[in-house]
């Protein structure tokens, strides 16, 4: 069984303004963590081929692609209050998109059983023609779209567990019946989208499932939502491929969220996905890094995910005890609400 890690050195060269949470040290922390384990020597690694502008246009408007490229070539500038382009942003964003494509393609083609794209900047907030939320291009959407086209896939499960709703990903696949997009995200949080009644349109009707999660939800709350909604949906959808937008800002120590998940909780989510994927599609799962901004928590959470994906033990460097979390009754009530809405399309 082959497991793959895809990255590119250009992703470490992009620098945001001082104090910005999306910084090169994110990748450095993850790499240092993995290098302390035996898995680092056993895990095959590949350097990504950066995505060309023409490839990016598969999910982005030409004017958007050219705007990012030209702004970077001119030395950079602000797109909005928290999203910036610098002189190295074009090469970093192209590399991040290419790495996601390479990781997902490796799994879709059968060249690897699982793969993890370890890159930045993240991508799930980028829509067809708008960069926002630290994201320039939508890496996971591009990779998923190209895999569906290249291999004729008709059923892909795209799961986003970042603390922020993947509004760009939803926008790109909202009318695409080949992709079921499931997002668990903190309710009433940036970017203000991802309500439970957003369920898709046209060929994609019923293929978007948003699960807004109450603040302070932790490991057991997420486990409940996975066991009662995500996994049963997968059992009905029977995806041919599973792609994960793997954000880690739902960690209790992360400064950009108000959740109480620990690294072990992310490991549990990944484990549940892997067990489901073994039934659905022979265990074919690709993950693409999104958010996560407290370095120690990010590194441990990625390691816990890779452990679940590969079956290789990875000792955590900063394991924390499960904290108090949102009452179980609140999670059950939310699960009931989501099942009621999704019941138009799924037997949950």
- Active-site residue list: 125
CA distance 172 to 191: 16
CB neighbour class for 334 (10 Å; exposed up to 12, middle 13-18, buried from 19): buried
CB 139 within 8 A of CB 96: yes
Spell out the residues 6+ positions from residue 260 whose beta carbon is closer than 8 angstroms to its own: 216, 217, 218, 219, 252, 322, 323, 324, 325, 326
Comparing C-alpha atoms, which of 95, 40, 14, 16 is closest to residue 302? 40
Q: In this structure, what DSSP letter does residue 43 have?
A: S
3-state secondary structure of 135: strand
Cis, peptide link before residue 15, omega less than 30° from 0 = no
3-state secondary structure of 59: coil
């Amino acid at each position: 069984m082959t497991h793959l890690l895809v990255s590119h050195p250009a992703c470490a060269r992009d620098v945001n303004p001082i104090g910005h949470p999306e910084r090169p040290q994110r990748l450095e922390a993850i790499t240092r963590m993995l290098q302390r384990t035996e898995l680092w020597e056993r895990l095959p690694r590949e350097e990504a081929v950066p995505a060309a502008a023409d490839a990016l246009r598969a999910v982005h408007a030409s004017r958007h692609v050219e705007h990012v490229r030209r702004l970077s070539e001119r030395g950079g500038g602000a797109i909005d209050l928290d999203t910036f382009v610098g002189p190295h942003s074009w090469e970093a964003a192209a590399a991040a998109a290419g790495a996601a494509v390479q990781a997902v393609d490796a799994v879709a083609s059968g060249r690897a059983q699982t793969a993890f794209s370890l890159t930045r900047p993240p991508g799930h907030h980028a829509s067809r023609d708008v960069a926002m939320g630290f994201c320039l291009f939508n890496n996971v959407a591009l990779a998923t779209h190209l895999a569906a086209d290249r291999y004729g896939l008709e059923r892909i499960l795209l799961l986003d567990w970042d603390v922020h709703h993947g509004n760009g990903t939803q926008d790109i696949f909202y009318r695409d019946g080949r992709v079921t997009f499931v997002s668990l995200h903190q309710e009433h949080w940036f970017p203000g989208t991802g309500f439970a009644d957003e369920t898709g349109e046209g060929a994609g009707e019923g293929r978007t499932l948003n699960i807004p999660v109450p603040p302070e939800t932790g490991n057991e709350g997420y486990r409940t939502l996975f066991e009662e909604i995500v996994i049963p949906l997968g059992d009905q959808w029977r995806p041919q491929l599973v792609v994960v937008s793997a954000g880690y800002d739902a960690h209790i120590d992360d400064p950009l969220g108000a959740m109480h998940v620990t690294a072990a909780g992310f490991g549990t989510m990944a484990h549940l996905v892997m067990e489901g994927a073994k039934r659905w599609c022979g265990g074919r799962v690709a993950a693409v890094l999104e958010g996560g901004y407290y370095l120690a928590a990010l590194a441990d959470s990625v390691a816990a995910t890779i452990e679940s994906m590969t079956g290789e033990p990875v000792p955590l460097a900063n394991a924390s005890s499960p904290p108090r979390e949102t009452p179980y009754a609140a999670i059950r009530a939310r699960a009931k609400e989501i099942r009621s809405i999704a019941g138009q399309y799924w037997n949950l």
